[in-house]
Amino acid sequence: MPVASRLAGLRNPLLGRRSFLRLGAALSGGVALGPFGPRPGCAETPISSPPADAPWSQSIGPGVVDRPYGRPADTEAGIIRRNVPWLTAGTESSISFSPLQDLHGIITPNGLFFERYHAGRPDVDPEKHKLMIHGLVERPLILTMKDIIRFPAVSRIHFIECPANGGMEWRAAQLNSLQFNHGMISCAEWTGVRLSTLLEEVGLKKDARWAMVEGADGAHMNRSLPLDKCLDDCLVVYAQNGEALRPEQGYPLRLVVPGWEGNVSIKWLRRIKLGDRPWYSREETSKYTDLMPDGTSRGFTWLIEAKSVITFPCPEKPLSGPGLYEIRGLAWSGNGKVTQVDVSANGGVNWQRARLHDPVLPKALTRFTLPWRWDGQPALLESRVVDETGYVQPTITQLRTQRGLNSVYHNNSIQTWQVKPDGSVFDVQLS
Ligand SMILES: Nc1nc2c(c(=O)[nH]1)N[C@H]1C(S)=C(S)[C@@H](COP(=O)(O)O)O[C@H]1N2
Ligand SMILES: [Mo]
């Protein structure tokens, strides 16, 4: 029997003690991470009589007109994006983090997608919004939203990660939180038109090598993109998980640059200018560069290298006592597909291969799980991803050896969660 269906059996209240113990023995032999004995992980409730009717079973609920646009159950109200007030001067140039500890699967619900603004969230009128494509092109064009929606549509699932995700932990562990250390990543199904289709429509002049992409927000945020990437897999999208983009994500139109740092996925996209060299905008010179130990600065570090994190257990979701658990997490790579995730319970001394859940898509979040019998002893949980290019996620020490301590961006190091005997979980760094 596959491990997953054995685990599923645990949730069956009819499962007898004998079969539970048999299951425990099988698991500790095959997949437990340490020398843990067969110890039941959850209590059994004997079923003698049917449960009494709850209040909600005794009356008629509200009808269909109650919620013309749905929302989560009232009891889920605490599952929200959060920000770190001291991180930025104001809320207009700020970040909210996705509550990864409460999410399932690989798609981020639209209301929980992380936000990053350089000049607040503009309220754009889709009737007036236009996209101009000009510069080194044969036929410059100004497109309305109606024009854009007429082009052949494609849908793709991709993550967007701000390269500053984890940037607060370059020097030391300081935020005891999954949401704040890793929540600047989200993943959605994006629908729109390939940028290559639009570029074919305007016709590229032979010297065109770069594109400058610019937003309609007050920051007029702009970045330079090499033409190869534009023609490869960039999308100009108007929909996110089946509905129009949210204003937070760039309504009515944004660029999605799969696998590259979130900063280049320009929101409220209003202009694409083709040229023969990069523009060296503020966001690729003063910001979004990495100061190296020798005083030089790395620029145009677009790629999001492979990264993973355990989302259960984590500081927000401690363990409730010794027993059988499923370690759960997320892995991703801007290089393509995730091919392997290993999990350690002793700070990287021994590793065990985790199961990757379908679908495993390029440049998208990938779920991994591993059954784990916790014996109540202190543990150091880590996950380490390998992507299809063979790249292995580094430790923070390995990263610092290469890049020093001056960086903010592109911290893709292995996260260590320290599990204490009472089940609480802490953010730590191993030297
Ligand atoms: N026009 C515009 N585009 C923008 C930004 C912005 O402030 N203005 N922020 C960028 C940054 S830094 C990131 S990480 C992503 C965040 O996308 P999200 O807010 O949809 O999560 O959008 C990028 N695109
Ligand atoms: Mo960002």
Angle ∠(313,387,210) on CA atoms, nearest 5: 115
Hey, is 354 helix, strand or coil? coil
The ligand minimizing its distance to the Cα of 282 is 1
**Are 405 and 353 found together in one domain?**
yes
Nearest ligand 1 atom to the CA of 255 is 24
Q: Are 274 and 323 in the same domain?
A: no
293-304 core/surface letters (b: 16 or more CB in 10 A; e: else) = eeeeeeebbbbb
The verdict on 386 and 426 lying in the same domain is: yes
Ligand having the closest approach to the CA of 161? 1
Q: Which of 266, 295, 324 finishes a domain? A: 295
* Whether residue 272 is found in the same domain as residue 199: yes
Distances (CA, A) of 104 to 45, 187, 248, 337, 366: 27, 12, 21, 19, 11
Burial (CB < 10 A; 0-12, 13-18, 19+), residue 150, is exposed
Element (H, E) at 43: none
Choose the residue to mutate in 91, 237, 267 for probing ligand 1, maximizing ligand atoms within 8 Å of C-beta: 267
Q: Whose CA is nearest to atom 2 of ligand 1?
A: 267
Please give the mean pLDDT across all residues of the chain. Answer: 90
- The ligand whose atoms approach the alpha carbon of 409 most closely is 2
Say whether both 291 and 335 belong to one domain: no
- Ligand 2 centroid–CA 117 distance in Å is 8
Q: How far is CA 20 from the centre of its chain?
A: 35
Q: Where are the alpha helices (DSSP H) in 61-177?
A: 145-150
Residue 88 falls inside a structural domain: no
Question: Would residue 90 count as lying in a domain?
Answer: no
Which residues constitute the domain of residue 360? 3-32+303-430
Unique residue bearing structure tokens 């960039």: 234
266-304 pLDDT, tens digit each: 999 999 999 999 999 999 999 999 999 999 999 999 999
For residue 50, name the pLDDT band (cuts at 50, 70, 90): confident
Which ligand 1 atom sits closest to the C-alpha of 250? 20
Pick 223 or 28 by higher pLDDT.
223
- pTM assigned to the model: 0.90
Q: Is residue 39 part of a domain?
A: no
Give me 96's structure tokens. Answer: 């909210």
For Cα atoms 263, 269, 270, give the angle at the middle one, nearest 5 degrees.
135
Q: Could you read off the pLDDT of 88-128 as tens digits, one per residue?
A: 888 888 999 999 999 999 999 999 999 999 999 999 999 99
Indicate if 352 and 408 belong to the same structural domain: yes
269-275 and 130-135 beta bridge pairing: parallel
Token pair, residue 155, equals 């849908």
Residue ranges around ligand 1 (CB below 6 Å): 113-118, 160, 162, 186, 215, 217, 219, 221, 248-249, 262-263, 265-268
Give the residue whose CA is nearest to atom 10 of ligand 1: 263
Per-residue pLDDT, 431: 84
Instruction: Answer with the one of 295, 315, 332 that is the final residue of a domain.
Output: 295
The predicted model gives 223-249 an average pLDDT of: 98
pLDDT above 80 (res 19):
no
Ligand 1 atom nearest residue 116's Cα:
19
Helix, strand, coil % over all residues of the chain, rounded to 5: 20, 30, 50
Write the CB contacts of 103 (distance below 8 Å, at least 6 apart in sequence).
Answer: 109, 112, 311
- Counting the structural domains of the chain, the total is 2
Structure tokens given for 110: 């639209």
Residues 268 and 375 in one domain: no
**Is the pLDDT assigned to residue 25 strictly greater than 70?**
no
What pLDDT sits at residue 34?
42
pLDDT digits (tens, 9 = 90+) for 137-157: 999 999 999 999 999 999 999
Report residue 420 as tokens.
Answer: 């204490």
Residue where a domain stops, chosen among 295, 314, 343 = 295
Contact (Cβ atoms closer than 8 angstroms) between residue 370 and residue 415:
no
What's the pLDDT band for 28 if we cut at 50, 70, 90? very low
Could you say which ligand is closest to the alpha carbon of residue 96? 1
Whether 291 and 325 share a structural domain:
no
- Nearest alpha-carbon partner for 34 in 388, 257, 352: 352
> Residue 351 corresponds to which tokens in the numbers above?
């590793």
Alpha-carbon distance of 353 to 332, in angstroms, equals 16
Mention every residue, 6+ apart, whose C-beta is less than 8 A from residue 108. Answer: 98, 114, 186, 187, 188
CA 31 to ligand 1 centroid distance, Å: 41
Instruction: Specify if 56 maps to a domain.
Output: no
Predicted local distance difference test score (pLDDT) of residue 115: 98
Q: Which stretch of DSSP H or E encloses residue 383?
A: strand 379-387
Residues 341 and 420 in one domain: yes
- Residue 415, domain member (yes or no): yes
Tell me if 417 sits within 8 A of 314, measured CB to CB.
yes
Nearest-10 Cα torsion for 232, 237, 243, 245 = 130
